[in-house]
Amino acid sequence: MNGTQIELRFDTSMVQRGAVVSDWREAVKLAGGLLADAGCVRPGYTKKLVDIIEKFGPYTVIAPGLALVHAQPSADSLHRGLAAVTIPDGVNFGHAHYDPVGLVVAISTTNHAQHLDVVAGIANGLDGDNSLVTKAVRAASDEELFDLIRTHLPALRFGH
């Protein structure tokens, strides 16, 4: 990261706990839908999230149980944002080592430099700490899930 914090829209309306999904596409659509509902992206962004994984495989599964779904900034990207969905039963993305996924984090950014900074901020915040997924899946409230994500990602700033 370049030393300055990137602010992302993120509040309790942008989390969904306890999702039951039939496949990874549904999980990604839920997370992307939260970004769309918050006004961060147009609905087409969610389709891009699915299309990218179909094309390039489960590279978005970046740690045991955690998928970070994102697409390059485009006309569908309106504001920087983050959304999170927990899937207590887990869902397989097809990753050789990190399936099943219990936490899907979706991000949107409006330019390429921000995109790299946000991805790096999330990766650095999770480096060596696999407890976020376990804690997130067990969160008893949207507020608890929101606070867990904020705490685990200190390189990012969250606002409305």
* pLDDT tens digits, one per residue of 44-57: 999 999 999 999 99
Q: Taking 90 as the threshold, does the pLDDT of residue 24 lie above it?
A: yes
**pLDDT digit string, tens, across residues 32-46:** 999 999 999 999 999
CA distance 108 to 57: 19
Q: Taking 60 as the threshold, does the pLDDT of residue 2 lie above it?
A: no
**Intra-chain end-to-end CA distance of the chain, in Å:** 22
Asked if the peptide bond before residue 154 counts as cis, ω within 30 degrees of 0, the response is no
**pLDDT digit string, tens, across residues 104-116:** 999 999 988 888 8
DSSP state of 115: H
CA distance 69 to 150: 17
Task: Answer yes or no: are the C-beta atoms of 14 and 35 closer than 8 Å.
Answer: yes
Q: Taking 80 as the threshold, does the pLDDT of residue 3 lie above it?
A: no
CA distance 82 to 40: 9
Q: What is the pTM of this model?
A: 0.93
Q: Taking 90 as the threshold, does the pLDDT of residue 151 lie above it?
A: no
